Structure 1
Amino acid sequence: MKQLLDLDTFAKTLTDKGYDGYFHTEAAYTDKIKDSISRFLEACNAGADKPMLPNIMMLKTYLEWYGDDKPKVECNMWVKYENGLFDVQKMIIERIDQYGLLLKQSKLTDLSTNSVPTRKEAIAQVSEKPKEQLSNQDKRFRMR
C-alpha cells in the first residue's frame, strides 16, 4: 500500500537513500530537496507558479556529475502531492554523455517513496558493466 509522507519525512527518506544533492522542482527552485519543494509551494500559494500536472510535481537532480566534459547521470521523479503529503510515483534515470546524448535509460514505475532505489542502486542501473580484462599472455600452446 502506498503511503503519503509529510515533507520532512519525505525529504529525510530520500536523503537517507543518498539523494542529498540539489534538486529542481518543476524546472526551477534549485536547492536541497526540502527547501526546493518548500519554495515551489510558496510560489504556488502566492499565485506566482503552478504545477504542470495536477497533484504531481516533477523533481530533477543529478546523481553523478564530474563536469561538463564527462557523462552524467540524471534522475527525474514524478511525485504525487496531496494535502501537504508526498509520495514518489515514477522515476526515470538517464546516463547522458557530454554532448547531451542519451547513453542508457531506466524507467521505474509504480513506485512509492520507500521502494525508491538508493542513489548507488539507481546509478548502477544505467552504468556500463566493466569489461573483462583479458590476460596479456599468449593463449597458444608452447613447445619446449
Structure 2
Amino acid sequence: MEAISDLNTFAKILTAKGYDGYFQTQGAYAGKLKDSISEYLADNPKGIAKQELLLTGYLQWAGDDKPRVECCMWVKYLKGKFFLNKMEVARKDQFGQLLKQEKLTDLSVVTAPKAKEAIAMVSDAPEQKTAHRQKRFSF
C-alpha cells in the first residue's frame, strides 16, 4: 500500500485514471471524488470519522433500462493520509442482478487500473461478427 499524503493528490491521480464521475462516501455525500470525501470529513470530526471509507459510483451508465458498471473502493484514512485498500468492479443488469464481478486487493492509487480497464474486466468479450457475403452466380 502506498500512502498519498493529501486528498488533492489522491483525487487528482484517480481522476486522471478516469474515475471522474460522481461518487458517494459512506453511502451519502454525493459529488465528485474530492468533493464527496471532503464533505464527509467536514461533517465528521476526526475522532468520529471512520478509518476505512467506502466510495461507490458508476463507471458506466447508459440509463435505467441498460446494464451498468459499478465501482466500490475501500480507502483507508489514517492521520490525514489516504490508502487505496481494495476495489470491487461489478457489471449489473437493469434489474440490479450481478452479471460479472472482479475483486482487486493489495492495491495502491498508483497500481489501480484505469477506469476503462476496470470496465473491460467485467464487460463481455465482443462477439465476433462474420461478414455475410452475397453469393454471386457465375455463368
TM-score (norm 1): 0.87
Which protein has greater RCO, CA pairs closer than 8 Å, 6+ apart? 2
Counterpart amino acid of residue 105 in structure 2: T
Instruction: Tell me the residue number matched to 2:125.
Output: 129
Q: What does the per-residue CA deviation read over 1:82-123, in whole Å, with 9 as the maximum and x for residues that have no partner?
A: 111101110000000000000000000000011110010000
> Which residue matches 2:65?
69
Partner of 1:86: 82
Report the Cα distance in structure 2 between the residues aligned to 1:5 and 1:95, rounded to whole angstroms. Answer: 32
Say yes or no: does 1:4 pair with 2:4.
yes
Q: Using the alignment, how far apart are the partners of 1:61 and 1:114 within structure 2?
A: 19
- Partner secondary structure for residue 87 of structure 2: strand
Please name the residue that 2:31 is paired with: 31
What is the CA-CA distance between 1:134 and the residue it aligns to?
Answer: 2.7
Structure 1 unaligned regions, length at least 5: 139-143
State the one-letter code of the partner of 1:129: A
Unaligned runs of 5+ in 2: none
| 1:50, distance to aligned residue in structure 2 (A) | 4.4
Correspondence 1:14 to 2:14: yes
Q: Distance in 2 between matches of 1:104 and 1:64?
A: 14
- How many Å apart are 1:137 and its aligned residue? 5.0
Within-5 A mapping of 1:92-131:
92-131=88-127
Superposed displacement of residue 39, structure 1: 0.7
Structure 2 residue 41 is matched with structure 1 residue 41: yes
- The alignment's C-alpha RMSD in Å is 2.1
Work out whether residues 66 and 72 of structure 1, in 8 Å CA contact, stay in contact via their aligned partners in 2: yes
Runs of 4+ in structure 1 over 6 Å off? none
Tell me the distance in 2 between the aligned counterparts of 1:8 and 1:38: 10
How many residues are aligned here? Answer: 138
Contact between 1:5 and 1:87, CA under 8 Å: does it hold in 2? no
Inter-partner Cα distance in structure 1 for 2:95 and 2:20: 25
Report the AA paired with residue 133 of structure 1: K
CA distance in 1, matches of 2:2, 2:49: 25
1:30-68 residue CA offsets vs partner (Å, 9 max, x unmatched): 011111001101111198x743xxx11000010000110
Paired letter, 1:57: L
Q: Secondary structure at the match of 2:44?
A: helix
